[in-house]
A = this chain, B = another copy of it.
Amino acid sequence: MVKVAVVGATGYAGEELIKILLRHPDCKISHVCAKVDKAQKFSEFFPWAVGCLDLVCDNLDINVLKKEADVIFLALPHKTSMDVVPELIKANKIVIDLSADYRLSDVAEYQKWYSAHKDIENLKKAVYGLPELYRDKIKKAKFIANPGCYPTSVILGLAPLLKNKLIDISSIIIDSKSGTTGAGRNPSMGLHFCEVNENFKAYKINKHQHMPEMDQELSKLAGKKLNVVFVPHLLPVNRGILSTIYTVVEGRQVTSSQIVDMYKKFYKDEKFVRVKNDGEFPQIKDVQHMNFCDIGISVDSNRIIIVSAIDNLVKGAAGQAVQNMNIISGFKETAGLL
C-alpha cells in the first residue's frame, strides 16, 4: 500500500481526492492537511467522512508531510503550490500538483495571468498530466502539473482535429459551462446560493486564466501558435463542465461519420474518453462522479462542432490526478476510478 497525502484537503478538489482515494485498492491516505483555523478531524470539516477517514487535518507542516507520505497531491490555490513543491521534489517525493503553478512553461505567461514565478527550476521538470496525450512522459515523471478543468475538456475535444491538421486553427471558439464547484469553496456574494440558483451568466470573457493553458497545449498539438476565443459560463449545478467548441474545416469537405470514426480511432485505447456515435451528444449527468470525458461531434458543411463533457472535480481535477498517480506508480490506470 502506497502512502498518499492530500494537501489542501478542505477545498472541493481535496475533498474529491479523498473520496476517490478511499476507494483505491493500492494506496492508503496517510496524511491530510489544509489551511485551517484549528486542527480537527477531517470528518469534522466533512461529516460524510465519519467512519471513512479517521485522520486529523492540521495546517501544513512540511516535515510531517515528507515523513508521512510517498505520493503527495497538492490541491492548493494557485500561487501557493510553488512554495511547497521545491522541498517535496528535493525529498524525492512523487508530487501531483492540481494548481496552475507548473502548467505554463512560459514564465512570462505565468506572470501575466498569475504573478511572478518563484520556482522556475522545477517548472522545467513538470510534466503536463494529460494521460491521453502524454502517457509515456507521465510514466517516467515524478512531478506532474495536473491540467485545469476547462483545458481538459477542450484539449481532449480538439486533439484529433489538430493532430490531423484538419481545421483552420484561427477559427476555434470555445463556449464552456461549468458547475459551481469549479469556482471553489470560499464564500462570496457571487457564489451565494440565491445568486447562483436559477441564474446563468458568462464571466471572464476572453479573460479566464485557463486560456494560456489551452493556447499552449493546443498550439503544441497543432504545431503552430494559435489563440482561442474562450467564454466560460457559470451553471447552477454542483459539478460538470460542458464545452461546445466551434471550428472550421480547412480546405476540404468532411462528413460527420468520417470525423466520428477519426475520433474513435484516435481514442480507441483510451478507457476514459468515450466518443459518442454519430448523432449522439454528451450530457454532464453521464460523467458526474466519473473520470470520463464524453465527446460528441456534429459536422455541417465546413463547420465542425465538438461537445465535450467532464466532471470538473474528477477528470477535471482529482480523478485525473489519481489517473496520473496510477500511471506513475504502475497501478492499473483505472484503479479507484471505475
Which B residues are in CB contact (< 8 Å) with A331?
A: none
Pairs across A and B, CB under 8 Å, 20 listed:
A47-B280, A47-B283, A48-B290, A177-B200, A191-B192, A191-B193, A193-B193, A193-B195, A194-B238, A195-B285, A197-B237, A198-B238, A198-B240, A199-B240, A200-B240, A201-B283, A201-B284, A202-B307, A203-B281, A235-B235
A99 within 8 A of B: no
- A interface residues, Cβ below 8 angstroms from B: 12, 22-23, 46-48, 50-52, 173, 175, 177, 180-181, 185, 187-189, 191-203, 205-206, 229, 231, 233, 235-240, 242, 244, 246, 271, 274, 276, 280-290, 292, 294, 296, 298, 300, 303, 305, 307, 338
A276 neighbours in B (Cβ, 8 Å): 47
Extra 8 A-B pairs, beta carbons < 8 Å, given A50-B274, A181-B194, A199-B283:
A48-B292, A185-B189, A185-B192, A191-B193, A193-B195, A206-B298, A233-B242, A233-B244
- CB-nearest residue of chain B to A284: B200
Which residues on the B side are within 8 Å of A246 (C-beta)? 173, 175, 229, 246
Knowing A191-B193, A300-B229, the reply to whether A201 touches B282 (Cβ < 8 A) is yes
CA distance in complex: A197, B271 (Å):
27
- Oligomeric state, in copies: 4
Whole-angstrom distance between the Cβ of A310 and the nearest chain B Cβ: 12
Which of B238, B292, B305 is in CB contact (< 8 Å) with A197? B238
Q: Are B305 and A229 in contact (CB under 8 A)?
A: yes
Measured CB to CB, the nearest residue on chain B to A52 is B338
Question: How far, in Å, is A240 (CB) from chain B's closest CB?
Answer: 6
**Is there an interface contact between A48 and B175, defined as CB atoms closer than 8 Å?**
no
B-chain residues with CB within 8 Å of residue A187 when the two chains form the complex: 187-189, 191-192
- Report the bound CA distance from A185 to B192 in whole Å: 8
Complex Cα distance, B195 from A187, in Å, reads 10
Please measure, in the bound complex, the distance between the C-alpha atom of A170 and the C-alpha atom of B200, giving whole angstroms: 28
Known: A199-B283, A237-B200. A175 touches B244 (CB 8 A): yes
Would A206 and B51 count as touching, CB distance under 8 A? no
For residue A236, which residues in chain B have a CB less than 8 angstroms away from its CB?
193, 197, 235-237
Contacts of A303 in B (CB 8 A): 206, 229
Contacts of A177 in B (CB 8 A): 177, 200, 233
Nearest chain B residue, comparing its CB with the CB of A271: B51
Least CB separation from A298: chain B residue: B205
CA of A336 to CA of B201, assembled, Å: 27
Please indicate the chain B residues that have their CB under 8 angstroms from the CB of A286 in the complex: 46-48
CA distance A15 to B25 in the complex (A): 24
